[in-house]
Structure 1
Amino acid sequence: MKVLVVGQGGREHAIVWALSKSPSVKALYCAPGNAGIAALAECVPIQVNQFEELSRFAVDNRIDLVVIGPDDPLADGIVDYMEERGLAVFGPRKNAAEIEGSKVFMKHLLKKYKIPTAAYETFDNYEDAHAYLMKQGVPIVIKADGLAAGKGVTVAHTMEEAEEALSRIMKDKVFGASGNRVVIEEFMQGQEMSILSFVDGETVRPMVPAQDHKPVFDNDQGPNTGGMGTYSPVPHIPESVVQKAIDTIIIPTAKALVAEGRPFRGVLFAGLMITPDGTPKTVEFNARFGDPETQVVLPRLKTDLLDIFLATVNGRLDQLDIEWSDEAAVCVIAASEGYPGSYPKGLPIDGLDQAKDKALIFHAGTAMKDGRFVTNGGRVLGVVGLGSDIAQAREQAYSAMDLIRFEGKHYRTDIAKKALR
């Protein structure tokens, strides 16, 4: 089969890597891809928002399956657009992808179907939102309604932080139209956990759980990012709690979307908070593979990823058994200096060949210049160590990270430490 993956980050590199192992994949393309992906797939210089050009390429090259990686094109209806042109596409249609595209929609859906989540209110004007904020006090969570590249959420511990976040979203419009509405919700304490699931209508096939690290600095300090590292499994969260999250949150949400006339087909990503009493609550839903969760989940997948994609697209997911390895995976992100703010590009990267002997290297923000890899994004590389347990996987990831060099390289040194306590 011929497969086209749409996207250019570490998530897409991991998807391409997993698909490249399938004996059924005869040709693999990625649009636009990156310098690392180019070793496994033919990179096509078409951007993720160029629906017409992507569709034309897929039709002209007789692509059998298109896989959509990022959130923006899903929210903008790329699946609907391509399906109308006779293409088979892995990913949710626009009306189902709204579960990520609008936090207001998501919260209202959860409330309507009594699915556990934080208490909240929504606002479309600054004055009312500010008045509510002053009444509620801190700590509190401020969220832009729409997509914001993983940076639209502020967990405010002081009123100054909360007011600044609200002003940046609603007054300064730092996230554009995504900040026309906000969700202000209660601060939840506990352990965060991510569960990605393959979903085909009411059929839910959960993947192995993972835990992300959003803040840019060690000990969860500094501003939120798209994710600075992940690990899987999450040994300190009991299996009974994982199952409870699946039974009380993920399956009911899939059923709620069907009931609303928005059946979901693709990857439904539940961001969860496990409260101190062991109750799972919903933090957020995403309508696609997580980044960098994908980089630790897919290396543990034993079943052919293409078979799963096809079963989902063809409404046969209920007929497929999916197997996972007991191996542990730890991903540490190598970021550019300044990320998640402004950062330089074009800096030479050294040591990748040596690092590949110790870990999987998934490229996120890289390019090729004069025959060598250079930085081309905020998150540059995902370094994934594998092992029999978290400690061994962590050792592999960090020993590989030590071999990689580029000016201003920044990474957290505490990824997966919570699992070792």
Structure 2
Amino acid sequence: MKVLLVGGGGREHALAWRIAGSPALTALWCAPGNPGIAAHAECVAIGAEDVPALVAFAQEKAVDLVVVGPEAPLTLGLADALRAAGIACFGPDAAAARLEGSKAFTKEVLDAAGAPTAGWARFDDPAAARDYVRAQGAPIVVKADGLAAGKGVVVAATVAEAEAAIADLMESRVHGEAGASVVIEECLIGEEASFFALCDGVRALPLAAAQDHKRVGDGDTGPNTGGMGAYSPPPAFTDALRDEVMARVVDPVLAEMARRGAPFRGVLFVGLMLTATGPRVIEFNVRFGDPECQALMMRLRGDLLPALAASAAGDLSGVSLEWSDEPSLVVVVAARGYPGAVEKGGRIGGLEAAAAVPGARVFHAGTARGPDGSVVAAGGRVLGIGAAAPDLRAAREAAYRAVDALDWPGGFCRRDIAHRAL
């Protein structure tokens, strides 16, 4: 099977690593890829959002399956264009990708499916949004309705913080048109968890769960980011809870999407709050999480590629995947200044030493090749240092030993990944 993987981050590095190990694979390209992915795939200089060029490349190479990593190409209709050209695609059509592209759409689907979620309201007018916040009180959650790279959510502890978030999103447009409208939700209390299920439009195959760390600083302090680390499995996410989420969320949402004429094919990322009254949906994403994907891929046993192909073909019947009981953990090493402005171009040393730590694995996220061929920082989240071990504490110790083997003064990381479990 000839495969084109779309994307160039840590999630795509993890997917490339797993896909490259499949006996069914005959060729693997990645667009645009990164220096880490280049160890597993031939990287091609096509942007992840360049839909016409991606389709043309897939046709030229007679690609059998395109695996889309990030959300933006899906919301732009990459899967639609590929399927129209007769090329199988792992990932939802644009109509189904609205589950990530619009927070309000997601809430409407959840309500129609009878799935548990937070109370909410949508606003196009900042004055009306402020009035609502004053009436509801705090704590309260303010979300950009559109895509904001995981950063358009503010959990406001006070009314003043919520009003400031409304001003930033709707008036200053700190996340562009994503904040033209906002969704304001009740603040749920509990443990967060990320659960993933492969879908074929009708049925779903449960995968595994992880817990992400969104805040930039130790102790869950500072602004939200795209994710500073993750581990799998979260102790609170039991088999019984998995079955409950499948029955109360995933299956009814798939049925509702099919009823709307937008059947969902791909991986459904269910962001959950595990409250005292049961799991409630915070959000959906329409792709593997980053860095959750890295943690999941380290626990996966067996061949991922046939499952991705079966999802794309619309028939997961008979497909199964196995997961190691050993926990895994990934620490994101980001460029100083993240999630704000960062300095790019700094040389990253010690990568081989980090990879040599027993149980550890280095995932490239925001890296590039410098003029001298060295690996340099080229983004905000630059590396994901993962490890798997017989217990979570050992996995964390191995991951941080690998982090400490790096020679990159321009990087930083949280030092408390998995603190809630440990």
Q: Is 1:162 matched with 2:162?
A: yes
Partner residue of 1:4?
A: 4
Structure 1 counterpart of 2:381, from 379, 382, 385: 379
Deviation at 1:108, TM superposition (A): 1.0
The one-letter code of the counterpart of 2:248 is: T
Confirm or deny: 8 A CA contact 2:114 2:252 kept in the other structure.
Answer: no
CA deviations on 1:188-241 (whole Å, 9 max, x unpaired) are 010000001101122111111100000000111000000000000112343322
CA deviations on 1:259-285 (whole Å, 9 max, x unpaired) are 2111100000000000034x0000000
1:51-70 aligned at under 5 Å gives the runs: 51-70=51-70
Greater shift in the superposed pair: 230-239 or 345-354: 230-239
The one-letter code of the counterpart of 1:408 is: G
Q: Is 1:364 matched with 2:365?
A: yes
Partner residue of 1:349?
A: 348
Partner residue of 1:410?
A: 412
The one-letter code of the counterpart of 1:201 is: G
Partner residue of 2:281?
A: 282
Partner residue of 1:222?
A: 222
Partner residue of 2:313?
A: 314
Distance 2:417 2:95 in 1: 35
1:118-157 aligned at under 5 Å gives the runs: 118-157=118-157
CA deviations on 1:281-311 (whole Å, 9 max, x unpaired) are 0000001111111001112111311110111
Partner residue of 1:103?
A: 103
CA deviations on 1:127-171 (whole Å, 9 max, x unpaired) are 111110111111100000000000010101122321111101100
Distance 1:259 1:298 in 2: 32
Confirm or deny: 8 A CA contact 2:326 2:391 kept in the other structure.
Answer: yes
Distance 2:281 2:29 in 1: 35
1:6-405 aligned at under 5 Å gives the runs: 6-277=6-277, 279-358=278-357, 359-369=360-370, 370-405=372-407
Deviation at 1:179, TM superposition (A): 1.2
Q: Secondary structure at the match of 2:151?
A: coil
Q: Secondary structure at the match of 1:209?
A: strand
Distance 1:15 1:348 in 2: 25
Q: Secondary structure at the match of 1:122?
A: strand
The one-letter code of the counterpart of 1:157 is: A
Q: Secondary structure at the match of 1:367?
A: strand
Distance 2:24 2:132 in 1: 55
Distance 1:366 1:411 in 2: 16
Confirm or deny: 8 A CA contact 2:34 2:368 kept in the other structure.
Answer: yes
Structure 1 stretches lacking a partner, 5+ long: none
CA deviations on 1:311-336 (whole Å, 9 max, x unpaired) are 11122202212211112100000011
Distance 1:314 1:242 in 2: 25
The one-letter code of the counterpart of 1:138 is: A
Structure 2 stretches lacking a partner, 5+ long: none
CA deviations on 1:326-350 (whole Å, 9 max, x unpaired) are 1210000001101000000000101
Distance 2:254 2:337 in 1: 38
Greater shift in the superposed pair: 9-18 or 82-91: 82-91
Distance 2:10 2:345 in 1: 18
Deviation at 1:371, TM superposition (A): 1.5
Q: Secondary structure at the match of 1:319?
A: coil
Distance 2:275 2:44 in 1: 45
Q: Secondary structure at the match of 2:3?
A: strand
Per the normalisation by structure 1, the TM-score is 0.98
Confirm or deny: 8 A CA contact 2:140 2:162 kept in the other structure.
Answer: yes
Deviation at 1:180, TM superposition (A): 1.5
Distance 1:153 1:250 in 2: 23
Per the normalisation by structure 2, the TM-score is 0.97
Distance 1:323 1:255 in 2: 26
CA deviations on 1:361-393 (whole Å, 9 max, x unpaired) are 110000111121110010000000110111111
Q: Secondary structure at the match of 2:301?
A: coil
The one-letter code of the counterpart of 1:48 is: A
The one-letter code of the counterpart of 1:179 is: G
Percent identical:
48
Distance 1:362 1:254 in 2: 32
